[in-house]
Amino acid sequence: MWKGWGDILRLTRLYAILKDRTERHLNELIRLFGFTLGKLSYLYTVDKNQKHRKITFYRNYFQDFFDKQNKKVKAKIVWTFHLVEDLQRVPETYLKHIENTDGLYEIRIQLGSNIFRVFCFFDQGQLVILANGFQKKTQKTPKKEIEMALKIKAEYENEK
């Protein structure tokens, strides 16, 4: 279990060594330290100058979804977030615009036969705001989930 800033510093150093950021390494970090997303967010500061965008969480919408997932799913989500932050051009395999919406995107995560989606949108070009997430069980994305994400986006924009 996470014990404090000493663990964060050790994790940050370890993470800096793991340049390739493979899924296996992230799984190992989570298995060894058992940290939550809140503590993991400190790892995002490593190699900050090389990032093309920054992921930010709006309220608890995403956190509630993330907390319900098992360690392997959490590791895959975090791994995918790193791709979205680090790659200048993110393939549609990982980040795709939702058709017929005004600026709503989905971060696409697949672990085995399980498919997950995290809705997001951009603010000021390179800032990615996370909204809600869900496990996809049908071919089409449920309208209820898209409507919820659009509502969260509107809520965010009204608060700015």
DSSP codes joined into one string, 2-63: --SHHHHHHHHHHHHH-TT--HHHHHHHHHHH---HHHHGGGGGTTGGG-S-EEEE-TTHHH
- 84-107: pLDDT as tens digits: 998 888 999 999 999 999 999 999
pTM, 2 dp = 0.69
Q: What share of the chain is helix, strand, coil (3-state, %, to 5)?
A: 50, 20, 30
Set out the domains of the chain in order of their start, with CATH numbers.
50-159 (3.30.2310.20)
Please check the confidence at residue 16 and state whether its pLDDT lies above 90.
no
